[in-house]
Amino acid sequence: MAVFETFVPAVVPRSTSRAERSPIGPASRGMSLPRLAALPDETAMLYRIAALDERGRVAEQSVVRALGWEPGQRLQFSLVSNTAVAVHPDAAGMFTLARRGHIPLPVAARRWCHLEAGDRVLLAAAADSGVLIVYTARALDAMVTAFHSAMDGGVTS
């Protein structure tokens, strides 16, 4: 029960008001997301698409290597929205990077983001800040829609 009580504050929004919500979860953990809009033209981000296995893990060695994470690394998860989860190293983290470098997505985060085994996710690794952001397919749909909506004239069929 203690494990669940510790994780819940990181995944349950404190307020339903968008203006009052923190975009990165609990600020008390010292977690900060990279300002993606402020990245230079030549970004240090590494992107990969991977599928969740039947245990809710993501296996993508190039991302783990780029972040400098080692098996046994303690990890903390923060919900960015119901379509994205931020992962960062934290000595007090409740989850560990598996022996083979598989990244475990906690069941509470998977439920919150409606992720199931076999679902594909976009992994965005900000190596300079040591943060991994896991985006769902719904997040990608929203990003693509926003990109094309912002284009002059939009997409024609």
**pTM of this prediction exceeds 0.85:** no
For the chain, the domains span 51-157
Closest CA to 25 of 99, 68, 77: 77
Which pLDDT score, from 0 to 100, does residue 61 have?
A: 92
pLDDT per residue as tens, the chain (157 positions): 333 333 333 443 343 333 333 333 343 343 445 454 455 555 678 999 999 999 999 999 999 999 999 999 999 999 988 999 999 999 999 999 988 989 999 999 999 999 999 999 999 999 888 899 999 999 999 999 998 888 856 555 5
Closest CA to 132 of 44, 37, 36, 33: 33
Closest CA to 50 of 123, 128, 117: 123
String of DSSP letters for 39-62:
--SS--EEEEEEEB-TTSEE--HH
